[in-house]
Amino acid sequence: MRLDKYLADLQVGTRSQVKEYVKKGLVSVNGQVVKKADIKIDEATDEVRYQGKSLSYQKYRYYMLHKPSGVVTATKDNIDKTVIDLLPKELTKDIFPVGRLDKDTEGLLLLTNDGELSHNLLSPKKHVAKTYYVECDGQLDNVKIEQLCAGVDIGDEAITLPAKVEVITIKDDNYVIKLTITEGRFHQVKRMIQAIGGQVIYLKRLSMRSLVLDETLEKGDFRELSAEEIAGLKS
């Protein structure tokens, strides 16, 4: 990789800015000050320092976000705050959300620049499991729960794939459940509950494949994924 691209990718500055930094002798490679920004380096093995500070190149970045309500799952929006806006600007280069959560839905959202992983997690052929905490307005008796487990007609060409349902409690005559689905259709959870005569009044995603929401994260907060969490998503 060219040195100027390496520095720009690490948000040291723009391509033109980092070229000036190199000319001024502010950058060293393997302990030697360099004066040419177009030299090639090995980002995996070479030690690059800027103003004496060691830089570390990470091709792919992975962040877990506890998405709050009122924020849209997009990289840009002319009206609403986006999930990308919740990250410091210096971390947002090429970052995008994996999948979508509705504006009023909270919970786990993966942000990354790894397009291959995103494709694998979202591909309909992969049937990646996603679990939601759902508060429903209306009674969900055993018959309706069995319908969810078998698959319901939400107005698409095919009924939904079988889901898993765990009843947590009954709260003010409303059912609170955990619902696990293996598809990602538009407004799927809400439409599934509507199909059996209920209505979602609160929705929060708890997990996606092996990645589980870190409940120590406050709404709107994020953290990097651990190596184990990344490996679990890719397995």
Residues noted as catalytic: 102
The Cα–Cα gap between 174 and 158 comes to 28
CB 83 within 8 A of CB 72: yes
Nearest to 158 by CA among 179, 132, 137, 185: 185
CB 109 within 8 A of CB 75: no
What is the torsion angle, in degrees rounded to the nearest 10, for the CA atoms of residue 233, residue 207, residue 189 and residue 125? 10
Strands 199-208 and 106-112: parallel
227-234 and 115-122 are packed helices; what angle lies between their axes, rounded to 10 degrees? 50
* Rg value, the chain, Cα: 23
CB atoms within 10 A of CB 148: 22
Tokens of 47: 């030690």
